[in-house]
Amino acid sequence: MTDDLQVLMRKISRITFFFLFLGCLGWAVYPKWEEVFGGYLIGALGSLLFTWQLAWKIIRVADMAAGGRRSRGGFGFLSRAAIGLLAAVISVRTLGYDPAATVAGLITSPMATLVLGLSSIRRRSGGHPSDERGEKQ
């Protein structure tokens, strides 16, 4: 399981770094849009941080479950929300960037995760339509 998660996290990180590159390139080409690109970059960094934090929590909970112990905590929603809120406050209040661009940056990594998950489902279901559960051969 951790091998699949590491591969998925590598893909998500690469996609997010690509969008960070596009944001930096856009900022260099259109310096008048500093508020938009800056907000997006801060949001994308925040989304990458809370995606890494979620992966760390999943590995930790899985290791505890494999060891027969029960985890007291969940998957750390409160800490991920705090990371997103911190990125939004730094972007909007401190640096004065666009809030909508910051929110768009905050959903970059979750959207990459969604797209990768849907594409993996599509790849796995490449079998015959009669290969459904419950049918007898």
Q: Is 70 helix (H, G, I), strand (E, B) or coil?
A: coil
- Is 40 a domain residue? yes
- Is 124 a domain residue? no
CA angle 111, 90, 81 (to 5 degrees): 45
- Is 83 a domain residue? yes
- Is 127 a domain residue? no
- Is 101 a domain residue? yes
pTM of the full predicted structure? 0.81
Q: Which pLDDT score, from 0 to 100, does residue 23 have?
A: 94
Written as tens digits, the pLDDT of the chain (137 aa) is 557 888 889 999 999 999 999 999 999 999 999 999 999 999 999 999 999 999 998 888 888 888 888 777 777 789 889 999 999 999 999 998 999 999 999 999 999 999 988 888 777 665 555 555 655 55
Question: Domains in the chain: how many in total?
Answer: 1
- Is 43 a domain residue? yes
DSSP code for 63: H
- Is 132 a domain residue? no
Q: Which domain holds residue 101?
A: 2-69+76-119
